[in-house]
Amino acid sequence: MKRLMMVLAAGAFLLTVTASCEKCSTCIVKETDGTVIYDYAETCGNKDVIDDYKNQCEAQYGSFGFDCACSDD
């Protein structure tokens, strides 16, 4: 019985840890007056995926003077 409880506790822990690693983010591109000119599709993944997504938005639109605002969902 003790062994079963340990296995169940370990399984619950692993499910909690792996589920909390994936995050989602949505970026929008705005003009300086706040007008939205483009909505990126929501992207979900680990920290590296989200960072790449945000960097892509900045690289594509930041150099043109637009603001890339990303929110973590």
pLDDT at 5: 55
- Give residue 61's pLDDT band: very low, low, confident or very high (50, 70, 90): very high
Please list, residue by residue across 41-68, b when 16 or more beta carbons sit within 10 angstroms of its beta carbon and e when fewer do: eebeeeeeebeebbeebeeebeeeebeb
> 28 forms bridges with which residues in the sheet?
39, 69
By three-state DSSP, how is residue 52 classified?
A: helix
**What's the token pair of residue 24?**
């989602």
Q: What is the pTM of this model?
A: 0.65
What percent of the chain has pLDDT above 90?
A: 59
pLDDT at 48: 94
Q: Which tens digits make up the pLDDT trace of 6-32?
A: 555 555 555 555 555 789 999 999 998
